[in-house]
Chains A and B, each alone.
Chain A
Amino acid sequence: MNAFYTKWMGGKKGAIELAVLAVFIFVVMPLWLDIFRLNLVGKYLTYAFAAVGLVMVWGYGGILSLGQGVFFGIGGYCMAMFLKLEASDPVSTAHQTTPGIPDFMDWNQITHLPLFWEPFHSLIFSLAAVILVPVALAYVISTAMFKRRVGGVYFSIITQAIAAILTILVVGQQGLTGGINGITDLKTIHGWNINTDSAKYILYFLNGVLLLAVIMLCRFLLSSKFGRLLLAMRDKEDRVRFSGYDVANFKIFTFSVGAAISAIGGAMFTLQVGFMSPSLIGIVPSIEMVIFAAIGGRISLVGAVYGTLLVNYGKSAFSESFPSLWLLLMGALFIGVVMLFPNGLAGLYDVYFKKWVEQLAIRLKKVFPLEKLKPVKAEINHEQ
Chain B
Amino acid sequence: MSNDLVLAIEDLTVSFDGFRAVDGLNLYVEKNELRVIIGPNGAGKTTVLDLICGKTRATGGSIKFNGIELTKFPEYKIVQTGVGRKFQTPSIYENLSVLENLEISFPRGRSVFGSLMFKRTQDVTDRILETAEMIFLSEQLDAQAGLLSHGQKQWLEIGMLLIQNPELLMLDEPVAGMSVSEREKTAELLNKVSNGRSVIVIEHDMEFVKRIAHKVTVLHQGKVLAEGNMDTVQNNPKVIEVYLGH
Contact = CB atoms under 8 A, between A and B. Distances in A.
B115 A246 contact: no
B104 A383 contact: no
A79 B145 CA distance: 47
Interface stretch (B60-68, B90-98, B205-213): B90-98
Interface string A209-244: 000000000000100111011011001101111111
A221 B120 contact: no
A244 B164 contact: yes
B111 A249 contact: yes
Contacts of A250: 112, 115
B100 A228 contact: yes
A249 B112 contact: yes
Given A235-B95, A236-B92, A242 B116 contact: no
B76 interface: yes
B80 A244 contact: yes
Contact of A231 (B91, B93, B99): B93
A232 B112 CA distance: 14
Interface in A224-276: 224-226, 228-229, 231-232, 235-236, 238-247, 249-250, 253
A243 B115 contact: no
Contacts of B118: 224-226
A196 interface: no
B115 A224 contact: yes
B79 A244 contact: yes
Contacts of B160: 239, 243
B76 A235 contact: no
Interface in B86-131: 87, 91-96, 99-100, 103-105, 107, 109-112, 115-120
Nearest to A251: B112
Contact of B115 (A226, A236, A238, A241): A226
Given A221-B116, A225-B104, A225-B118, A242 B79 contact: yes
Interface centre among B75, B79, B119, by most chain A C-beta atoms within 10 angstroms, is B75
A384 interface: yes
B35 interface: no
B53 interface: yes
B74 interface: yes
B91 A239 contact: yes
Interface string A267-304: 00000000000000000000000000000000000000
Nearest to B114: A225
Contact of B117 (A224, A238, A244, A384): A224
Contacts of B95: 231, 235
A383 B120 contact: yes
A241 B75 contact: yes
Interface residues of B, number: 35
Given A224-B115, A226-B112, A231-B96, A239 B79 contact: no
Interface centre among B91, B93, B94, B100, by most chain A C-beta atoms within 10 angstroms, is B93
Contacts of A253: 112
Contact of B93 (A225, A232, A247): A232
Contacts of A221: 116
Contacts of B45: none
A219 to B, nearest CB: 13
Nearest to A252: B112
B115 A232 contact: no
B223 interface: no
B93 A246 contact: no
A384 B160 CA distance: 18
Given A231-B96, A232-B96, A246-B76, A240 B120 contact: no
Contacts of B91: 236, 238-239
Contacts of A224: 115-118
A164 B109 CA distance: 38
Contacts of B79: 242-244
Contacts of B215: none
Given A240-B104, A243-B160, A225 B92 contact: no
A239 B76 contact: no
A221 B112 CA distance: 10
B96 A228 contact: yes
B85 interface: yes
Contacts of A232: 93, 96, 104
Contacts of B104: 225, 228-229, 232, 240, 243
A221 B115 CA distance: 9
Interface of B: 53, 55, 74-76, 79-80, 84-85, 87, 91-96, 99-100, 103-105, 107, 109-112, 115-120, 157, 160, 164
23 contacts: A224-B115, A224-B116, A225-B104, A228-B100, A232-B93, A235-B93, A235-B95, A236-B91, A241-B76, A242-B55, A242-B79, A242-B87, A243-B79, A243-B105, A244-B79, A244-B110, A245-B76, A245-B110, A246-B110, A249-B111, A250-B112, A383-B119, A383-B120
